[in-house]
C-alpha cells in the first residue's frame, strides 16, 4: 500500500519525526486509516498532531510487541467474544486444592511461624493504579486513613508492617507500588512528604501502568475521542505482571534472593493478618501460586476459585466469575448449580485477589509470555449480530489470571481464611454501601473497613486470652458498626498471633473503649473499662510493661461522634471523614 502523501508531507515539513512516520505506516498497514483521516494540511493544528503521535508512541512503547501486537491480539479476542459463549464451556469444575485456616488452630500457628521466616525472602507488590470510581474519593486511595483514632493511612499501615518485619528479620523487604496516570503523582508526593515512611532508599520501586487504546468495533479499529485525541482506557491490574517483567524488577528480585511475591490491594487493612500464614502454606505445600480466599455463599457476587479440567489439557485452577460458575456447574457436574455444602458455603472459595506467587516459576512464565498475561475483551454489543459496540471496548488483564499461563505443571492452591480477618476493603461511597447492606451485601465502605480493622484487633486480644466484651452494634449512615472496643495493635508491637500471645496475658477490655499498643509493650492483667482509653507506646529501643492496672473513663478517652448533616456537606471537614460519616474525638489525660 503506498504511503499517503499527507504523511510524507508532514515528514518533509519536519512536523512529524521519522519514528512517528514509521509508526503511522505500521498502523495504516493494520487498517487504522481512521486515525489519520481528515488530517489538516501541514501548518494547521500541528501541535495537536504531534501530541497525538506522542500518545501513540507511548502506547507503542508500553505494550509488549507494540501497537501492532495490541491490534492483532484485539482482533483475535474480539472475534472470539463475538461467539458469546461461556469461556470455560468445555471444562468440568471441581474443588481446588485448598488449605482451610478459617478456624485458626494448630495448622494456622504452624503456617504463620513458617511464613514469618519466609517473609525475609518476599517482596510486597501493591497494585494501586485503580481509579476508585465506586468510592469517588478525590485523592489517591493509599492516602485514606484505615483508622481515624490516630489517623493512619493505608500506605502508612502497609509500610509500618514492612518496617517492623525488615527490622525483625534483618532484611530490607522490598515494596513495589504499581501506579497509573491517575495515582502516580499523588503516590510519589505522599512518599516524599513522609520520607518514604522510614523505608530505606531503594526499598521502594514504583512501576507506572499506561492506558491502552480503546477499540471502536469488532475489527479492532482504535477509537478517536475527538480529532487528534486517542481514546484511552485502563488495561487492568494484570499490568503488574507486564511491568515486573519489562522493568527487570522480577529478575532483579530473583538475583537478590527473593523467593516469593505477595500481591496486595490498595485498601485492605486486614491483609497482613493473613499474609504470613498464607506464605507459610505456600512453603509447606510447595504452591507456586496461592490465592488467599474466603468462604463464599453460593450465588454471592464474588468469583469462585475452581479446578477446571478437560480431556487432553492440563488442569487449571482459576477464578471463575460467579455469572459463569453457576451455569457451568449446571451443565457439567450438578444440575442444581452452585449450592451450599453442609457448612453453608460453596465448594468454590471466593477470590479476594491476594496472591502469593513463587518467583522462580513466575520468571519462567514472564519470559515465555513477554509479560502479557491472559488478556480478554468484554465488549457490550449493541446489535444482535454482535458486531457493533454500545461504547468503545479495550483489552483487559487481571492479575489473578496468571495461572492461565502455567504450562509446566505449576502447583496452584488456595488458602481460606476467616473473611474479616483477611479482607475488608474500602471500595464504596456511603450511599452505595448502605444500599448494598440493605440487600445483605458487604458494605465495603471506609467505615466498615475501619470497623473490621478494630475487630481484627479484638480477635487478637481474644487469641491471647484477654476478655473482650463488645459494645452493642449501632447503625451509622446505614452501615452496621460495632463501636468498640477499638483495638489497634501496631506491627511494631506484633506481627503474628504468637507475638500477641507473648505480649499480653490476662485482663479485659469492654464497651466503647480504645486500646493502642505500639512497640515493645507488654500487658499483664490490665483492665480497660467501657469508654476508657489506653494508648501505650514504648520508646524507640525501650520497653514498656503495664501490670495489674485498671484504666477508667476518668483518663484519656476517644469518642466516636457522628458528623452532622452540615459537617457532611462542608468542604472544611476532611473528605476522609465524610466518606465514613463520623470522627473520633480524643481527650488525652
Ligand atoms: P478495584 O477494582 O477494587 O479498584 O481494584 P478500582 O479499580 O480502583 O475501583 P473502581 O472499580 O474504580 O471503583 C483492585 C485493585 O487493583 C488496583 C486497584 O488500585 C486495587 O488495588 N488496580 C485496578 C490497578 O492497580 N490498576 C488497574 O488498572 C485497576
CA atoms of 389 and 382, how far apart (whole Å): 5
Cα 182 to middle of ligand 1, angstroms: 11
The C-alpha atoms of residue 545 and residue 521 are separated, in whole angstroms, by: 6
* Residue 5 CA to ligand 1 centre (angstroms): 44
Report residue 402 as a C-alpha cell.
496468571
Which atom of ligand 1 is closest in space to residue 267's alpha carbon? 21
Q: Does ligand 1 lie within 6 Å of residue 127's CB atom?
A: yes
Q: How far is Cα 506 from Cα 524, in angstroms, rounded to an integer?
A: 6
Q: Considering only 127-131, 371-375, 420-424, 432-436, which range has the smallest mean pLDDT?
A: 371-375
- With a CB cutoff of 8 Å and minimum separation 6, the contacts of 61 are none
Percent of the residues in the chain that have a pLDDT greater than 90, as a whole number: 88
Name the pTM for this structure.
Answer: 0.95
The whole-number average pLDDT for the span 34-44 is: 93
Q: Which parts of 259-398 fold into alpha helices (H)? A: 271-285, 322-331, 359-369
Query: Which of ligand 1's atoms lies nearest the C-alpha of 236?
Result: 28
Query: What residues have CB less than 8 Å from 185, skipping those under 6 apart?
Result: none
Residues 333-350 pLDDT 10s: 999 999 999 999 999 999
Give the pLDDT confidence score for residue 589 in this predicted structure.
Answer: 53
pLDDT value, residue 553? 85
Instruction: Look at strands 514-518 and 533-537 and give their pairing.
Output: parallel
Exposure on the CB side of residue 405, measured as CA atoms within 13 A: 25
Q: Is the pLDDT of residue 70 over 80?
A: yes
User: What residues pair up with 468 in beta bridges, in sequence order?
Assistant: 509
Distance between CA 500 and CA 156 in Å, rounded? 21
- Cβ-count burial of 97 within 10 angstroms (0-12 exposed, 13-18 middle, 19+ buried)? middle
Q: Per-residue pLDDT for 556 more than 90? A: no
Cell of 531: 469508654
Domain parsing of the chain, residue ranges: 5-62, 92-422, 430-587
C-alpha–C-alpha distance, residues 390 and 392, integer Å: 7
pLDDT of 202 strictly over 80:
yes
Residue nearest to atom 3 of ligand 1 (CA): 427
CATH architecture of the region 430-587: 3 Solenoid (2.160)
Query: Domain 92-422 is in which class?
Result: alpha beta
Using an 8 Å Cβ cutoff, are 514 and 183 in contact?
Answer: no
pLDDT at 86: 78
The predicted-structure confidence for 79-122, as pLDDT tens digits, reads as follows 988 887 778 888 999 999 999 999 999 999 999 999 999 999 99
> Hunting for cell 498532531 — which residue is that?
49
For a pocket test of ligand 1, which of 127, 130, 136, 431 has the largest count of ligand atoms closer than 8 A to its C-beta? 130
For 37, residues 6+ apart whose C-beta sits below 8 A from its C-beta are none
On the 0-12 / 13-18 / 19+ scale of CB atoms within 10 A, 587 is exposed
The mean per-residue pLDDT over the stretch 473-489 comes to 97
What's the gap in Å between 40 CA and the centre of ligand 1? 39
Percent share of the chain, pLDDT over 70 = 99
Residue of the nearest CA to atom 17 in ligand 1?
130
Q: Which atom of ligand 1 is nearest to the CA of 126?
A: 21
How high is the pLDDT of residue 1?
Answer: 62
Ligand 1 centre and the CA of 336: distance in Å?
33
Residue 385 or 466, more confident: 466
Q: Which residues pair with 308 in a beta bridge?
A: 93, 316
* Mean model confidence pLDDT for the chain: 95
**How far, in Å, from the CA of 300 to the mean position of ligand 1?**
20
Q: Is the pLDDT of residue 140 over 60?
A: yes
Amino acid at each position: 500500500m503506498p504511503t499517503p502523501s499527507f504523511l510524507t508531507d508532514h515528514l518533509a515539513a519536519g512536523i512529524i519525526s521519522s519514528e512517528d512516520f514509521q509508526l503511522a505506516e505500521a498502523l495504516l498497514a493494520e487498517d487504522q486509516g481512521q486515525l489519520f483521516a481528515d488530517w489538516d494540511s501541514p501548518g494547521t493544528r500541528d501541535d495537536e498532531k504531534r501530541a497525538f503521535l506522542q500518545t501513540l508512541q507511548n502506547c507503542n512503547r508500553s505494550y509488549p510487541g507494540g501497537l501492532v501486537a495490541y491490534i492483532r491480539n484485539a482482533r483475535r479476542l474480539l472475534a472470539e467474544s463475538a461467539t458469546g459463549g461461556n469461556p470455560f464451556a468445555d471444562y468440568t469444575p471441581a474443588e481446588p486444592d485448598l488449605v482451610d485456616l478459617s478456624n485458626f488452630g494448630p495448622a494456622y500457628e504452624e503456617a504463620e511461624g513458617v511464613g514469618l521466616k519466609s517473609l525475609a525472602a518476599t517482596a510486597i507488590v501493591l497494585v494501586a493504579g485503580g481509579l476508585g470510581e465506586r468510592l469517588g474519593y478525590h485523592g489517591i486511595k493509599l492516602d485514606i486513613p484505615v483508622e481515624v483514632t490516630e489517623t493512619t493511612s493505608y500506605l502508612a499501615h502497609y509500610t509500618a508492617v514492612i518496617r517492623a518485619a525488615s527490622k525483625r528479620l534483618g532484611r530490607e523487604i522490598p515494596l513495589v507500588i504499581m501506579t497509573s496516570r491517575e495515582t502516580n503523582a499523588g503516590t510519589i508526593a505522599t512518599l516524599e512528604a513522609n520520607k518514604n515512611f522510614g523505608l530505606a532508599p531503594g526499598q521502594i520501586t514504583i512501576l507506572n501502568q499506561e492506558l491502552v487504546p480503546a477499540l471502536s468495533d469488532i475489527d479492532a479499529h482504535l477509537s478517536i475521542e475527538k480529532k487528534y485525541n486517542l481514546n484511552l482506557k485502563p488495561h487492568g491490574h494484570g499490568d503488574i505482571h507486564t511491568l515486573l517483567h519489562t522493568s527487570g524488577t522480577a529478575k532483579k528480585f530473583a538475583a537478590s534472593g527473593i523467593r516469593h511475591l505477595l500481591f496486595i490491594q490498595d485498601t485492605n487493612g486486614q491483609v497482613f493478618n493473613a499474609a504470613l500464614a498464607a506464605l507459610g502454606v505456600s512453603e509447606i505445600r510447595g504452591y507456586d501460586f496461592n490465592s488467599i480466599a474466603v468462604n463464599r455463599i453460593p450465588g454471592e457476587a464474588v468469583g469462585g476459585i475452581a479446578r477446571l479440567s478437560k480431556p487432553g489439557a492440563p488442569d487449571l485452577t482459576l477464578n471463575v466469575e460467579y455469572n459463569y460458575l453457576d451455569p457451568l456447574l449446571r451443565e457439567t457436574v450438578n444440575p442444581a448449580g452452585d449450592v451450599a455444602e453442609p457448612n453453608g458455603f460453596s465448594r468454590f472459595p471466593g477470590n479476594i485477589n491476594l496472591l502469593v506467587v513463587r518467583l522462580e516459576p513466575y520468571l519462567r512464565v514472564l519470559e515465555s509470555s513477554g509479560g502479557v498475561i491472559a488478556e480478554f475483551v468484554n465488549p457490550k454489543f449493541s446489535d444482535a449480530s454482535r458486531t457493533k459496540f454500545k461504547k468503545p471496548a479495550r483489552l483487559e488483564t487481571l492479575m489473578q489470571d496468571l495461572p492461565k499461563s502455567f504450562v509446566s505443571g505449576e502447583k496452584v492452591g488456595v488458602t481460606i481464611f476467616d473473611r474479616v480477618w483477611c479482607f475488608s476493603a474500602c471500595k464504596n461511597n456511603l450511599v452505595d454501601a448502605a444500599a448494598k447492606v440493605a440487600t445483605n451485601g458487604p458494605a465495603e465502605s471506609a467505615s466498615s473497613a475501619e470497623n473490621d480493622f478494630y475487630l481484627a484487633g479484638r480477635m487478637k486480644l481474644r487469641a491471647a486470652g484477654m476478655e473482650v466484651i463488645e459494645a452493642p452494634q449501632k447503625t451509622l449512615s446505614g452501615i452496621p458498626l460495632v463501636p468498640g472496643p477499638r483495638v489497634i495493635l501496631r506491627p511494631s508491637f506484633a506481627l503474628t498471633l504468637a507475638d500477641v500471645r507473648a505480649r499480653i496475658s490476662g485482663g479485659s477490655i469492654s464497651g466503647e473503649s480504645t486500646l493502642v499498643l505500639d512497640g515493645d509493650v507488654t500487658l499483664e492483667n490490665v483492665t480497660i473499662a467501657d469508654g476508657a482509653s489506653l494508648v501505650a507506646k514504648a520508646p524507640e529501643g525501650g520497653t514498656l510493661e503495664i501490670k495489674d492496672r485498671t484504666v477508667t473513663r476518668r483518663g484519656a478517652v476517644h469518642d466516636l461522634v457522628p458528623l452532622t448533616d452540615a459537617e457532611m456537606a462542608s468542604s472544611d471537614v476532611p473528605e476522609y471523614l465524610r466518606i465514613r460519616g463520623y470522627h473520633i474525638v480524643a481527650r488525652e489525660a
